[in-house]
Structure 1
Amino acid sequence: MDKFLLKQQVLDRLAEDLLQAEQAARVAHETATHEENIAENKYDTLGLEAAYLASGQAQRAEAIRQVMANWRQFHPGPYEPSKGIQLGALVCLVDSNGRQQHLFLGPVGGSMKLVCGDQVVQVISVEAPLGRAMLGKFEGDEVSVQVAQIRQQFEVLQVV
Protein backbone atom coordinates (compact mmCIF):
# COMPACT_ATOMS: atom_id res chain seq x y z
CA MET A 1 0.00 0.00 0.00
CA ASP A 2 1.21 3.46 -0.88
CA LYS A 3 1.27 5.86 2.09
CA PHE A 4 1.23 8.89 -0.19
CA LEU A 5 -1.88 7.60 -1.95
CA LEU A 6 -3.52 7.14 1.46
CA LYS A 7 -2.51 10.68 2.43
CA GLN A 8 -4.07 12.01 -0.78
CA GLN A 9 -7.27 10.08 -0.11
CA VAL A 10 -7.45 11.66 3.36
CA LEU A 11 -6.97 15.12 1.85
CA ASP A 12 -9.63 14.42 -0.79
CA ARG A 13 -12.12 13.29 1.85
CA LEU A 14 -11.34 16.33 4.01
CA ALA A 15 -11.84 18.59 0.97
CA GLU A 16 -15.29 17.05 0.47
CA ASP A 17 -16.10 17.59 4.15
CA LEU A 18 -14.93 21.21 3.89
CA LEU A 19 -17.12 21.83 0.86
CA GLN A 20 -20.16 20.45 2.69
CA ALA A 21 -19.44 22.51 5.82
CA GLU A 22 -18.99 25.70 3.79
CA GLN A 23 -22.20 25.05 1.88
CA ALA A 24 -24.11 24.35 5.10
CA ALA A 25 -22.72 27.58 6.62
CA ARG A 26 -23.84 29.57 3.55
CA VAL A 27 -27.35 28.10 3.63
CA ALA A 28 -27.70 28.72 7.37
CA HIS A 29 -26.40 32.28 6.96
CA GLU A 30 -28.87 32.96 4.14
CA THR A 31 -31.67 31.59 6.31
CA ALA A 32 -30.58 33.71 9.27
CA THR A 33 -30.47 36.91 7.24
CA HIS A 34 -33.51 36.34 5.04
CA GLU A 35 -36.14 39.05 5.47
CA GLU A 36 -38.89 36.49 6.11
CA ASN A 37 -37.02 35.28 9.18
CA ILE A 38 -36.89 38.60 11.02
CA ALA A 39 -38.28 37.97 14.49
CA GLU A 40 -41.77 39.34 15.01
CA ASN A 41 -41.80 38.56 18.73
CA LYS A 42 -39.54 37.03 21.37
CA TYR A 43 -40.76 33.52 20.54
CA ASP A 44 -39.90 33.79 16.86
CA THR A 45 -36.38 32.34 16.96
CA LEU A 46 -35.87 30.81 13.51
CA GLY A 47 -33.43 33.53 12.45
CA LEU A 48 -31.50 33.28 15.72
CA GLU A 49 -31.30 29.50 15.50
CA ALA A 50 -30.09 29.71 11.90
CA ALA A 51 -27.42 32.24 12.98
CA TYR A 52 -26.15 29.82 15.65
CA LEU A 53 -26.11 27.05 13.07
CA ALA A 54 -24.21 29.23 10.58
CA SER A 55 -21.64 30.05 13.26
CA GLY A 56 -21.20 26.39 14.16
CA GLN A 57 -20.78 25.37 10.52
CA ALA A 58 -18.23 28.14 9.98
CA GLN A 59 -16.27 26.88 13.01
CA ARG A 60 -16.47 23.33 11.66
CA ALA A 61 -15.13 24.52 8.29
CA GLU A 62 -12.22 26.29 10.01
CA ALA A 63 -11.41 23.15 12.01
CA ILE A 64 -11.35 21.10 8.79
CA ARG A 65 -9.00 23.68 7.21
CA GLN A 66 -6.63 23.25 10.17
CA VAL A 67 -6.73 19.46 9.85
CA MET A 68 -6.04 19.76 6.11
CA ALA A 69 -3.05 22.02 6.81
CA ASN A 70 -1.66 19.41 9.23
CA TRP A 71 -2.12 16.66 6.66
CA ARG A 72 -0.50 18.73 3.89
CA GLN A 73 2.59 19.21 6.08
CA PHE A 74 2.66 15.50 6.98
CA HIS A 75 5.22 13.48 5.03
CA PRO A 76 5.08 9.80 5.97
CA GLY A 77 8.55 8.33 5.74
CA PRO A 78 9.68 4.76 5.46
CA TYR A 79 9.40 2.53 8.52
CA GLU A 80 12.56 2.47 10.61
CA PRO A 81 12.66 -0.92 12.37
CA SER A 82 15.04 0.38 15.07
CA LYS A 83 12.46 2.99 16.21
CA GLY A 84 9.35 0.83 16.12
CA ILE A 85 5.94 2.16 15.12
CA GLN A 86 5.93 5.94 14.68
CA LEU A 87 3.71 8.58 13.07
CA GLY A 88 3.34 7.65 9.40
CA ALA A 89 3.47 3.89 9.94
CA LEU A 90 1.16 1.57 8.07
CA VAL A 91 0.43 -1.30 10.48
CA CYS A 92 -1.29 -4.66 10.13
CA LEU A 93 -2.70 -5.99 13.43
CA VAL A 94 -4.35 -9.33 14.11
CA ASP A 95 -6.72 -10.03 17.00
CA SER A 96 -7.16 -13.25 18.97
CA ASN A 97 -9.76 -14.45 16.42
CA GLY A 98 -7.31 -14.09 13.53
CA ARG A 99 -9.02 -11.00 12.10
CA GLN A 100 -6.59 -8.56 10.54
CA GLN A 101 -6.93 -4.82 10.36
CA HIS A 102 -4.78 -2.27 8.58
CA LEU A 103 -4.10 1.04 10.29
CA PHE A 104 -2.41 4.18 9.02
CA LEU A 105 -1.03 6.33 11.84
CA GLY A 106 -1.45 9.95 10.81
CA PRO A 107 -1.86 13.45 12.23
CA VAL A 108 -4.81 14.43 14.38
CA GLY A 109 -8.19 14.82 12.71
CA GLY A 110 -7.99 12.31 9.90
CA SER A 111 -9.89 9.47 11.53
CA MET A 112 -11.64 7.68 8.68
CA LYS A 113 -11.79 4.43 6.75
CA LEU A 114 -10.25 4.29 3.29
CA VAL A 115 -10.07 1.64 0.61
CA CYS A 116 -6.70 0.97 -0.97
CA GLY A 117 -6.86 -1.79 -3.56
CA ASP A 118 -8.78 -4.59 -1.86
CA GLN A 119 -7.81 -3.50 1.67
CA VAL A 120 -9.77 -1.34 4.09
CA VAL A 121 -7.43 0.96 5.99
CA GLN A 122 -8.44 2.75 9.19
CA VAL A 123 -6.69 6.09 9.60
CA ILE A 124 -6.04 6.93 13.26
CA SER A 125 -3.93 9.45 15.13
CA VAL A 126 -1.39 8.99 17.90
CA GLU A 127 -3.96 10.58 20.22
CA ALA A 128 -6.37 7.67 19.72
CA PRO A 129 -5.97 4.98 22.42
CA LEU A 130 -4.93 2.35 19.87
CA GLY A 131 -2.55 4.77 18.14
CA ARG A 132 -0.94 5.67 21.46
CA ALA A 133 -0.66 1.98 22.41
CA MET A 134 1.10 1.12 19.11
CA LEU A 135 3.82 3.76 19.40
CA GLY A 136 7.26 2.20 19.73
CA LYS A 137 6.01 -1.36 19.16
CA PHE A 138 7.71 -3.75 16.75
CA GLU A 139 6.57 -6.59 14.51
CA GLY A 140 5.60 -9.52 16.75
CA ASP A 141 4.81 -7.29 19.76
CA GLU A 142 1.43 -7.30 21.47
CA VAL A 143 -0.71 -4.17 21.66
CA SER A 144 -3.32 -3.93 24.38
CA VAL A 145 -6.15 -1.38 24.62
CA GLN A 146 -8.87 -0.99 27.25
CA VAL A 147 -12.23 -0.08 25.65
CA ALA A 148 -14.91 0.44 28.31
CA GLN A 149 -14.77 -2.78 30.37
CA ILE A 150 -13.15 -4.86 27.62
CA ARG A 151 -9.42 -5.26 27.08
CA GLN A 152 -8.57 -5.84 23.43
CA GLN A 153 -5.27 -7.40 22.45
CA PHE A 154 -3.61 -7.48 19.07
CA GLU A 155 -0.37 -8.70 17.61
CA VAL A 156 1.63 -6.49 15.26
CA LEU A 157 1.95 -8.59 12.10
CA GLN A 158 3.59 -6.08 9.78
CA VAL A 159 4.75 -2.49 9.75
CA VAL A 160 5.57 -0.52 6.61
Structure 2
Amino acid sequence: MNKQHFIEHLKFALETKLQEAKQAANSARADAIHEQSAAETQYDSLSIESAYLAQGQSERVDDAYRAIKAFDEICSLNSTETITVGSLLCCKNDNEQCLWYFIGPAEGGLKLVVKNTPIWIITPFSPLGKLLLSKSLDEAFEWRINSELTEFLITKIL
Protein backbone atom coordinates (compact mmCIF):
# COMPACT_ATOMS: atom_id res chain seq x y z
CA MET A 1 0.00 0.00 0.00
CA ASN A 2 1.27 3.43 -0.93
CA LYS A 3 0.27 6.16 1.56
CA GLN A 4 0.73 8.97 -0.97
CA HIS A 5 -1.66 7.21 -3.36
CA PHE A 6 -4.18 6.78 -0.54
CA ILE A 7 -3.94 10.47 0.43
CA GLU A 8 -4.65 11.46 -3.19
CA HIS A 9 -7.77 9.24 -3.18
CA LEU A 10 -8.84 10.72 0.15
CA LYS A 11 -8.47 14.31 -1.08
CA PHE A 12 -10.45 13.47 -4.21
CA ALA A 13 -13.24 11.88 -2.13
CA LEU A 14 -13.40 14.91 0.18
CA GLU A 15 -13.49 17.34 -2.77
CA THR A 16 -16.25 15.27 -4.40
CA LYS A 17 -18.24 15.37 -1.16
CA LEU A 18 -17.77 19.15 -1.01
CA GLN A 19 -18.98 19.62 -4.60
CA GLU A 20 -22.05 17.46 -3.96
CA ALA A 21 -22.84 19.45 -0.82
CA LYS A 22 -22.47 22.75 -2.72
CA GLN A 23 -24.82 21.57 -5.47
CA ALA A 24 -27.39 20.42 -2.91
CA ALA A 25 -27.13 23.73 -1.02
CA ASN A 26 -27.54 25.79 -4.20
CA SER A 27 -30.54 23.71 -5.25
CA ALA A 28 -32.14 24.03 -1.81
CA ARG A 29 -31.56 27.81 -1.78
CA ALA A 30 -33.11 28.14 -5.24
CA ASP A 31 -36.15 26.15 -4.11
CA ALA A 32 -36.50 28.27 -0.97
CA ILE A 33 -36.70 31.54 -2.89
CA HIS A 34 -38.68 30.26 -5.86
CA GLU A 35 -42.04 31.96 -6.37
CA GLN A 36 -43.87 28.64 -6.09
CA SER A 37 -42.50 28.22 -2.55
CA ALA A 38 -44.33 31.31 -1.33
CA ALA A 39 -46.97 30.55 1.29
CA GLU A 40 -50.52 30.65 -0.05
CA THR A 41 -52.19 30.32 3.35
CA GLN A 42 -51.12 30.68 6.95
CA TYR A 43 -50.84 26.89 7.16
CA ASP A 44 -48.60 26.53 4.13
CA SER A 45 -45.13 25.69 5.44
CA LEU A 46 -43.34 24.83 2.19
CA SER A 47 -41.21 27.99 2.22
CA ILE A 48 -40.20 27.43 5.86
CA GLU A 49 -39.31 23.80 5.15
CA SER A 50 -37.30 24.85 2.09
CA ALA A 51 -35.40 27.41 4.16
CA TYR A 52 -34.57 24.81 6.81
CA LEU A 53 -33.36 22.43 4.11
CA ALA A 54 -31.20 25.17 2.58
CA GLN A 55 -29.68 25.91 5.98
CA GLY A 56 -28.92 22.22 6.58
CA GLN A 57 -27.31 21.87 3.17
CA SER A 58 -25.18 24.95 3.83
CA GLU A 59 -24.01 23.36 7.08
CA ARG A 60 -22.97 20.28 5.08
CA VAL A 61 -20.81 22.55 2.92
CA ASP A 62 -19.21 24.05 6.03
CA ASP A 63 -18.58 20.56 7.44
CA ALA A 64 -16.94 19.49 4.19
CA TYR A 65 -14.62 22.51 4.25
CA ARG A 66 -13.70 21.78 7.89
CA ALA A 67 -12.98 18.12 7.07
CA ILE A 68 -10.70 19.07 4.17
CA LYS A 69 -8.81 21.52 6.39
CA ALA A 70 -8.49 18.97 9.21
CA PHE A 71 -7.13 16.30 6.86
CA ASP A 72 -4.69 18.77 5.26
CA GLU A 73 -3.26 19.49 8.71
CA ILE A 74 -2.61 15.84 9.63
CA CYS A 75 -1.75 14.17 6.32
CA SER A 76 1.95 13.46 6.20
CA LEU A 77 4.00 10.70 4.67
CA ASN A 78 6.05 10.11 7.81
CA SER A 79 5.56 6.68 9.33
CA THR A 80 5.78 6.15 13.07
CA GLU A 81 6.31 3.26 15.44
CA THR A 82 2.96 3.87 17.13
CA ILE A 83 -0.47 4.63 15.77
CA THR A 84 -1.47 8.30 15.79
CA VAL A 85 -3.97 10.47 13.97
CA GLY A 86 -2.82 10.33 10.35
CA SER A 87 -1.63 6.71 10.49
CA LEU A 88 -2.55 4.27 7.73
CA LEU A 89 -2.41 0.77 9.15
CA CYS A 90 -2.94 -2.87 8.30
CA CYS A 91 -4.36 -5.31 10.84
CA LYS A 92 -4.37 -9.04 10.10
CA ASN A 93 -6.98 -11.28 11.63
CA ASP A 94 -6.79 -14.99 12.50
CA ASN A 95 -7.45 -15.87 8.83
CA GLU A 96 -4.49 -13.74 7.67
CA GLN A 97 -6.95 -11.31 6.09
CA CYS A 98 -5.53 -7.78 6.06
CA LEU A 99 -7.89 -4.94 7.04
CA TRP A 100 -6.75 -1.39 6.34
CA TYR A 101 -7.67 1.63 8.46
CA PHE A 102 -6.76 5.29 8.42
CA ILE A 103 -7.02 7.24 11.66
CA GLY A 104 -8.51 10.56 10.60
CA PRO A 105 -9.74 13.68 12.40
CA ALA A 106 -13.18 13.48 10.75
CA GLU A 107 -15.32 11.53 8.27
CA GLY A 108 -15.45 8.35 10.35
CA GLY A 109 -17.12 5.54 8.45
CA LEU A 110 -15.96 6.72 5.03
CA LYS A 111 -14.68 3.80 2.98
CA LEU A 112 -12.26 4.27 0.11
CA VAL A 113 -11.14 1.58 -2.30
CA VAL A 114 -7.54 1.94 -3.48
CA LYS A 115 -6.28 -0.68 -5.94
CA ASN A 116 -9.12 -3.04 -4.97
CA THR A 117 -8.27 -2.67 -1.27
CA PRO A 118 -10.94 -1.19 1.01
CA ILE A 119 -9.66 1.31 3.56
CA TRP A 120 -11.95 2.56 6.33
CA ILE A 121 -11.55 5.98 7.89
CA ILE A 122 -11.96 5.82 11.65
CA THR A 123 -11.69 8.66 14.11
CA PRO A 124 -9.81 8.62 17.41
CA PHE A 125 -13.18 9.05 19.15
CA SER A 126 -14.67 5.82 17.79
CA PRO A 127 -14.39 2.66 19.89
CA LEU A 128 -11.91 1.07 17.45
CA GLY A 129 -9.99 4.33 17.10
CA LYS A 130 -9.62 4.62 20.88
CA LEU A 131 -8.40 1.02 21.03
CA LEU A 132 -5.85 1.46 18.22
CA LEU A 133 -4.34 4.80 19.25
CA SER A 134 -0.85 4.41 20.69
CA LYS A 135 -0.63 0.73 19.73
CA SER A 136 2.65 -0.35 18.14
CA LEU A 137 3.76 -2.36 15.16
CA ASP A 138 3.40 -6.15 15.73
CA GLU A 139 1.11 -5.55 18.71
CA ALA A 140 -1.97 -7.77 19.02
CA PHE A 141 -5.44 -6.69 20.11
CA GLU A 142 -8.90 -8.21 20.31
CA TRP A 143 -11.99 -6.75 18.71
CA ARG A 144 -15.56 -8.01 18.77
CA ILE A 145 -17.10 -8.47 15.32
CA ASN A 146 -20.67 -9.80 15.08
CA SER A 147 -20.58 -11.01 18.69
CA GLU A 148 -17.38 -12.94 18.02
CA LEU A 149 -14.09 -11.93 19.63
CA THR A 150 -11.37 -11.82 16.97
CA GLU A 151 -7.66 -11.30 17.48
CA PHE A 152 -5.78 -8.93 15.21
CA LEU A 153 -2.11 -8.18 14.71
CA ILE A 154 -0.91 -4.76 13.57
CA THR A 155 1.40 -5.59 10.67
CA LYS A 156 1.96 -2.18 9.04
CA ILE A 157 1.87 1.43 10.14
CA LEU A 158 2.42 3.96 7.37
TM-score bracket, shorter-length normalisation:
0.7 to 0.9
SS of the counterpart of 1:104?
strand
From the superposition, tell whether residues 3 and 30 of structure 1 become closer, same or farther in structure 2 (CA, over 3 Å). same
Count of matched residue pairs: 158
1:112 has 2:110 as partner: yes
CA deviations over 1:1-48 (Å, ceiling 9, x no partner): 222322222121111111111111111111111112211112211111
Aligned equivalent of 1:131: 129
Aligned equivalent of 1:66: 66
The alpha-carbon deviation at position 111 of structure 1 amounts to: 4.0
| Aligned 8 A contact 2:107 2:121 in 1 | no
CA deviations over 1:115-135 (Å, ceiling 9, x no partner): 222322222222222122111
SS of the counterpart of 1:107?
coil
Structure 1 residues 64-103: aligned runs within 5 Å:
64-81=64-81, 84-103=82-101
Q: Compute the TM-score of the two structures, normalised by the length of structure 1.
A: 0.85
| Aligned 8 A contact 2:103 2:123 in 1 | yes
The alpha-carbon deviation at position 96 of structure 1 amounts to: 3.1
| Aligned 8 A contact 2:90 2:100 in 1 | yes
Match for 1:73: what amino acid?
Answer: E
CA–CA separation in structure 2 for the residues paired with 1:3 and 1:111: 19
CA–CA separation in structure 1 for the residues paired with 2:36 and 2:84: 55
CA deviations over 1:100-153 (Å, ceiling 9, x no partner): 201122222364222222322222222222122111212332223457966554
From the superposition, tell whether residues 130 and 110 of structure 1 become closer, same or farther in structure 2 (CA, over 3 Å). closer
Match for 1:140: what amino acid?
Answer: D
Q: Percent identity?
A: 28
The Cα RMSD (Å) is 2.2
Match for 1:156: what amino acid?
Answer: I
| Aligned 8 A contact 2:80 2:157 in 1 | no
From the superposition, tell whether residues 134 and 49 of structure 1 become closer, same or farther in structure 2 (CA, over 3 Å). same
| Aligned 8 A contact 1:103 1:123 in 2 | yes
The alpha-carbon deviation at position 99 of structure 1 amounts to: 2.6
